[in-house]
Every structure is written in C-alpha cells, then in structure tokens.
Amino acid sequence: MTGLAQAKSGAAGAGRFLPPPPLFLLQPILRRVVRRVAQLHPNLFDRLGPHCNARFVIDAAELPFVLLLVPDPENLIFRAVSRRGEPESDARIRGRFFDLLGLVDGAEDGDALFFSRELEITGNTEAVVCLRNALDDVEGSIAEDVAGLFGAPGRAILAALRRAGNRRGKSR
Amino acid sequence: MRPELICPAGTPAALRTAVDAGADAVYCGFKNATNARNFPGLNFTPEELAQGVQYAHARGAKVLLAVNSFPTAGRFDLWRDAVDTGARLGVDAVIVADIGVAAYVAERHPGLRLHLSVQAAASSPEAIRYYVREFGVRRVVLPRILTVAEIRQVKKEIPCEIETFIFGNHGLMVEGRCSLTNYVTGLSTNMDGVCSPAAQVHYDKEPDGCVATRLGDFTIDRFGPDEQAGYPTICKGRYHVPARDDAYYAFEEPVSLNLAELLPQLIEAGVEAFKIEGRQRSRAYVRQVVGNFRKAVDQVLAGEAPELADLVALTEGQKQTVGAFGSKKWR
Ligand code: SF4
C-alpha cells in the first residue's frame, strides 16, 4: 500500500480565496520560509531519498497561483507560479487550502483525505509518499515554525487560519 | 489482566506521538526489506531506533521490532543484522514470521522476547504450539480470520499470549502468502516487504472527473467523482468477471477493521494485547486512534461502557467492519 491519492475535482475553483497578489512580492517570503524549514529540520531531506530533486507542484484549490517545490538541500526552490504558466512537474498535489495546511501542521491524515477524495495526486506517487513521510516526521508544526518567522503577526494569522480550518472541518 | 495497546510507528515522530497518546508498546521496523511496511521514506535507522527505545522506555512503554518478512536464499544477513541490531539497542521483543529468523533469535538471543507475526498465519492451536515449543514464542498475533468464539477456544489450548488486531487494514488473504503484488509488479509483499510499491502506482485523472488507479500495467479500480477511495492494492480493486455485469470488488471492498464494540468480549476471551494497524499512516492518525482506544480500553477495564469516538473518517473507503471477528459471513 502506498497511502495517499486523489481529490474531488470539485474542490473550490481556483482564485476564490485570495485576490491575485503580485507574485514577485511573494517570492522572497517563500524563499525565506523554505530556508527556515530546511534549517530547522535538516533530517527531513533524508526521508526524501532520491526524490529530493523532484519537482512538486502544490495546488491549493482556492489560491490564484500554484506553488513549485524542489526540496533539494543544495538548491531549494519554493515559489509561486501563475496557473497559466504552470511548470512541468514530476508530481502534482491538489487539495483545499485548509486540508493542505492541516497536513503540514500534522493535524490531518493524508490517507484519510485521499479516501474521501479531498486530496488529488498525479505523477510520481513514490515521490509524493516520500514527501508526505518526510513532512510527517517533523516534530511539532512546520506551520508554527513558518508563522514564527513573522513574529506576532505571523502567529496571529496562523491562529486565525487554524480557527477557520476547524470551523470548516466541523461543517464538513 | 490488563491488555496492552500495541501501536504503529512509521517514523520517530509517530513513535513519540503513540507513546504520548497512551501506547503500552509501539511496533516499528528498519528502512529495508526486513519488515512488511518497507515503504519509501518510512521506518527507522538504527540511530533513530536507539532514540525511540530511549524515549519509550523513559515513559514506561515498550518497543517491538518487526522483522516479519521472509528472507530468500542468499539474503539472510539483512534479517540477521536487523535482529542483532534490535537486540543491541534493547528492543523489548522482535516480531518474526520466518522459521529461520525465529530459530536465529532463539539460538543467538535466548533472552529476547519472540512474538509470532500475523505474517506467519498461525491460526490453529497445533501450529501455535509448534512455534512455542520449537522457538520459545511468547505471543502470537492472530490472523484476522477467527471469530471471538474461536479466539476464546484457541486461547484455552495454547501456552502463550494472544494479540489481535482491533483497528486498521482489513487483511483477508492467508497472511504472508499473498502473491498478488508479486504477480503484477515483480516485487513481493512477503519477501520485499511492500504491497503495491508506490513507484508502480499511478493515478490518472480522466476528463469526466473519474480517477483510474493503475498498478504497473493493470488498472485496478476507477473511482467516480463522488466515490470514496481505497488503497491501491489488488485485493481492494474492482474487476470485470464473467458472472457479473458491472465491475465489482471480487476480493474485498475498501473497508477498515474496527473492533471497538467487541473490546469487552475480546478482553473476556483472554486476549493479552490489542494491535492498531497503520505504520504507513500519519501522526494525526496515530494520535487520534491510539488516544481513542486508550480511553476505551481503560473504560472497559474500569467496568464502564466504552465511549467511542467516530473514527470512520480515518477508515479506508470511509467504511468499517468487525469482519470475521463477528461472523464468518461478513461479505
Ligand atoms: S494485495 Fe491485499 S491481501 Fe495481498 S498483500 Fe496486498 S494488502 Fe495484503
């Protein structure tokens, strides 16, 4: 068994969650985020094994852009890309924003999201399983680490997102 | 008698989560073919296991090492090393399936507790007594094919402890003998430790919103846009067969075992340990399932009716069953 898989194609349409931000403003923030995570959790890369060079596209259905992740410790890439110009990837992960946040937060089970079709995976399944296992072995919460980068405002935003995610989970 | 709650740990973080959630013991394996969850990115290095043993022991929990796949000729060193390393690191027991590995543990590590894996498929008192007599097995993990009444009877006829699954994957084939994956992928669940290797699993999204699951060259299921999904295993696939008009689940539907309602009967039948399946699952699963069963078992032991949270959201296909434990006619 591999675990993980495929989401409802009916997940909220792209762009319903946020107005399109100028992506160039996001890039330095995303770079900082991924560097911070790599610095705090260097062991994460061991579990990725040969897939640390894989190109993952992460598609939070409500966002007007997708995220490109290449978890190569020598050349980390994490950037926002417009949906129109989506790059080639080895694997694609699509789900609702709050579900993806829950996965990174250690609060959601990827297999359960797969069973209920809330999570969609295409491409190299083995690379995705490695990424999932690597992230799940991170103690505590990556979301908190990232929020901590931005001080009190960052933590306040994460708390608000978690509240919204919980409300959504209860109403599901 | 207080039954132990045996919980899965696919990563060091999951091990700590299980211990913190109330596991009496966790079971885990090394990052290689010596255990039946040899999945990419999962399992322990010797260093991680050493830290895990320390963490568990400091909190009164045990660590059981799964060395429960079957070595083929010329590869025995890997299994021997796994056993030796586990013994050196102070694991509380090794869970084995192969008689060669069992004999090695019995001869080289006579002080190390030996558990018989479900992979050995020992379900008769005669088979179990053989393992006890020949290798000093102290506990048998029973296959998921016996009713509670049969477990009660087996218990009376064997001189060792019984562990039964109570939650998770509902495996129905004669355990340790299934060759379906081997037939399709060339890799063996029982000798390489992985069923449906992720490298050979593909999900193809179709224009109508359906998703086809492929294993190697074979399509094993196709889910409509609103259908619940299951694991990409051949035993849970849907097939066209001459006797049916539609594709159907020829072996078993995607469904998970949940024996929460049978806990009082299982305790009364003399079961010494309850196993939660799911080393491939996340910390979130471990936290929720272990926490709930910890509470339920403690309530039964205190003579109260167990309060059971709804775990169906975590189950395969979002469906649960008591399977053969309730009746041999579950399908
Ligand atoms: S195909 Fe099914 S029964 Fe066979 S090893 Fe895989 S999960 Fe078990």
What residues are paired with B251 via a beta bridge? none
pLDDT of res. B226: 85
The Cα angle at residue A18 between residues A15 and A20, in degrees rounded to 5: 70
Residue A136 clears pLDDT 80, i.e. is over it: yes
pLDDT digits (tens, 9 = 90+) for B138-158: 999 999 999 999 999 999 999
Q: Which amino acid is at A83?
A: R
Q: Which helix (H) or strand (E) holds B166?
A: strand B161-169
pLDDT band at A20 (very low <50, low <70, confident <90, very high): low
The confidence score (pLDDT) of residue A11 equals 39
Best probe of the B interface among A43, A90, A104, A109, by most B CBs < 10 A, is A109
CB contact under 8 Å between B230 and A115, yes or no, is yes
Q: How far is B200 from chain A (nearest CA, A)?
A: 8
Give dist(CA B48, CA A4) in Å, integer. Answer: 25
Q: Is A153 helix (H, G, I), strand (E, B) or coil?
A: helix
Contact state of B229 with A114 under an 8 Å Cβ cutoff: yes
Which residues of B fall within a CB distance of 8 Å from A2? 39, 196-198, 201, 231-232, 280
Interface of A with B (CB under 8 A): 1-3, 5-6, 8-10, 47-49, 51, 102-103, 106-112, 114-117, 120-122, 124-126, 128-134, 136-139
pLDDT over 70 (residue B199):
yes
> What is the rounded average pLDDT of the residues A136-162?
81
Mean of per-residue pLDDT scores for chain B = 93
Which are the contacts of B188, defined by CB distance < 8 A and separation ≥ 6? B179, B181, B182
* Cβ pairs bridging A and B (under 8 Å): 138
Binned at pLDDT 50, 70 and 90, residue A5 comes out as very low
Residue B38, classified by CB atoms within 10 Å of its CB into exposed (0-12), middle (13-18) or buried (19+), is buried
Q: What is the residue whose two structure tokens read 């260097």?
A: A42
Give all domains of chain B, ordered by start, each with its CATH number.
4-170+255-330 (3.20.20.70), 180-249 (no CATH)
Q: Please count the structural domains in chain A.
A: 1
DSSP single-letter state for residue A42 = T
Residue nearest to atom 6 of ligand 1 (CA): B195
Q: Which domain holds residue A72?
A: 3-170
User: Is B148 in contact with B262 (CB distance < 8 Å)?
Assistant: yes
Of B276, B279, B273, B224, residue with least CA distance to B246: B224
What CA–CA distance (Å, rounded) separates B186 from B253? 24
Contact A1 B209 (CB under 8 A): no
Ligand 1 neighbour B189 (Cβ under 6 A):
yes
Task: Identify which of A55, A69, A64, A89 has the alpha carbon closest to the alpha carbon of residue A142.
Answer: A69
Mean pLDDT value of segment B287-316: 89
Q: What pLDDT is recorded for position B239?
A: 92
Pocket test for ligand 1, best of B37, B38, B181 (most atoms within 8 A of CB): B181
Strand partners, B275: B6, B165
- What letter would DSSP give residue A19? P
Q: Reply yes or no on whether the pLDDT at B240 is more than 60.
A: yes
Measured distance CA(B195)–CA(B141) in Å, rounded? 20
Q: Is the CB of B181 under 6 A from ligand 1?
A: yes
Nearest to A126 among B40, B233, B284 (CB): B40
Question: Model pTM greater than 0.90?
Answer: yes
Q: What ranges in B63-168 are assigned the alpha helix state H? A: 76-89, 99-108, 125-135, 148-157
In percent, the amount of chain B with pLDDT more than 70 equals 99
CATH of the domain at A96: 3.30.1050.10
Residue carrying structure tokens 């060792």: B160
The share of chain B scoring above pLDDT 90, in percent, equals 80
Q: Residue A104's pLDDT is what?
A: 85
